[in-house]
Structure 1
Amino acid sequence: MTVTVPTVALGDGLHVSRIGFGGMALSHAYGDTDPDEALRTLHHAVDQGVAFIDTADVYGRPRDGSTGPAGTNEELIARLLADRRDEVSLATKFGITGAVGTPGIKATRGDRDYVRSACEASLRRLGTDVIDLYYLHRRQLDIPIEETVGAMAELVAEGKVRHLGLSEVTADELRAAARVHPIAAVQSEWSLWSRDVEARVVPAAREVGAGFVPYSPLGRGFLTGAMTPEKVSAGILRGEPRFVEHFAANQRIVDLVREVGRETGATAAQVALAWLWARGEALGLPVVPIPGTRVAARVTENAGALRVRLSPAQKARLDSAADLVQGGRNLSFAPKDWISAGRE
């Protein structure tokens, strides 16, 4: 059954579909995929009303095997935009150089020259003249965030970008950025089993009038119950304690989600997404999750979560899942300060 996907206001007057699509799933991080099949999935998402499409300059494999933003995911999104630009709310990101963990090379950049060159490169790859929401993917810690956001604000003034966003920022960084330019959205990992942002970042987003865009709202697929050790070993999660040595213990969370799903007539993925919307309502700010998938049917399933209504008792039981989690959310290849919780 097709779901009518409503729109919602994030911050700074930006309206997007109530659920978005995370483009990273269509790149190599979780195994290679066929570009034509990926494009069909993207078209299906827009057909369903899931028209808030999220990508980044660093998603994909560099064509020459070098370090640096790959851009191949943006090029894939460009094939969708070529026919349907007016239907899509487009978000992309910059700031990760593609050299995380590479000695002698900065993992992030936020200087003015880089901000401008990264934006122009993304516009070329995407085949568009404006980006609806431009995120700082990760900040360069030895440059004041005000400097980076000031350079991003210049892009808004020039009409190359419509709205600004920040990813994995702390509460204080968000407040400092918002004093320079309105921030439409904060993107960080947030789900049933990754809730550290609720302590400080979510309240700060509400304070400055920004919406929240949770990435990995399905726990990188774990919360759906479809993850297997074989699937884990095929992608970037193969070295992550949460997914490897704690795989069996964390199945207790999946069991809880499935139990609520049986009560509501929903899938595990739909329950996890419905919990996020309910949590956003409880905390007083708009929440637009961006689950990614390679399969068109999963797009329809995820959108179907909009029909799910959780009782107070079910919400409370799902809230308790956080107490069962074993293993942290930061990926092992990244430094502790890669995520906001490492700098709070």
Structure 2
Amino acid sequence: MLRAWYQSSPWLKLLRPLSAVYASAVVRRRHRYLNDPERVWLAPIPVIVVGNITLGGTGKTPMCIWLISYLQSIGLKPGVISRGYGAEGTEFPHLVDPLVDTPEQTGDEPLLIARRCAVPVVIDPDRPRAAQYLLASAQVDVIISDDGLQHYALGRDLEILILDAARGLGNARCLPEGPLREPAARLRSVDIVVSNGQAADDANAFAMTLAPVALVNMCTGDRIPAAQWQGGQEVEAVAGIGNPQRFFNTLKGLSLQPNGHAFADHAQYTPASFVRCDPGKPLIMTEKDAVKCTGFARDNWWYLSIDASLSDAFASRLQQCLETALRQR
């Protein structure tokens, strides 16, 4: 369906009646929360929601990591809540332990954030309950909700919507005719729109780029600056993210020649998943994939660490919104 949505395949028009029903239902649901404040739980501290309106990855996790670093730089103590997509056998709510938990218990993205950023992360499909548990478990003064745009039971002070610049809104239709979780008009109601892969800020969105920082060996932890890789140009490349081609293009930008292996977003891996990869060549994967493969990684397996880059204008707009939220508390 992804290819059809983003190539505007004509046969999708057959699904338009279903899309109309879906769009009407999600709009009515949002209005029920907006018109009945008693249905919404408000945290005693500011809540920043990072999300999207399209199915598939748009760069929410790099955005959350950037936010954590920025908030810490201005003296705040952020914590994160997440659904914990794919978590199995875990009692919710759950405070992620980066040293003990596995991606099977927490989901890949929450564990990645907890390990990389060393901030408290709570997973629970019930976002208000996750936020309440976070407040009871850790000293935080701002909450980041990862992928929580449509979870209206959780009150929010700031909404950041992430788009994939290459894909945009596809055919701009709601499910199932198109990839949208909510009608495109939703973009006008959020506080900040960020376009991942856009070259520069414009009137519609702030630009975000993902810069390769280092290649990290999955067995030894050795780090090599991305621009100083000397392991050979021909590499096996693995990506189980919303847009795998973006990762493969990043490797090409490092003058590598990746043999790309695309997996579904949040894919679960076993050693058998890599039988098509040449064991004699270095294998490079995303950091999100790496958290699920450390138990059986080989000596020549690496992950690419990336950092989101955003403009001073975005940081200024973010701080302006935060100051307004803090004054209203």
TM over 0.5: no
TM-score normalized by the length of structure 2:
0.29
TM-score normalized by the length of structure 1:
0.28
Greater gyration radius: 2
Q: Higher strand proportion, which one?
A: 2
Q: Higher helix proportion, which one?
A: 1
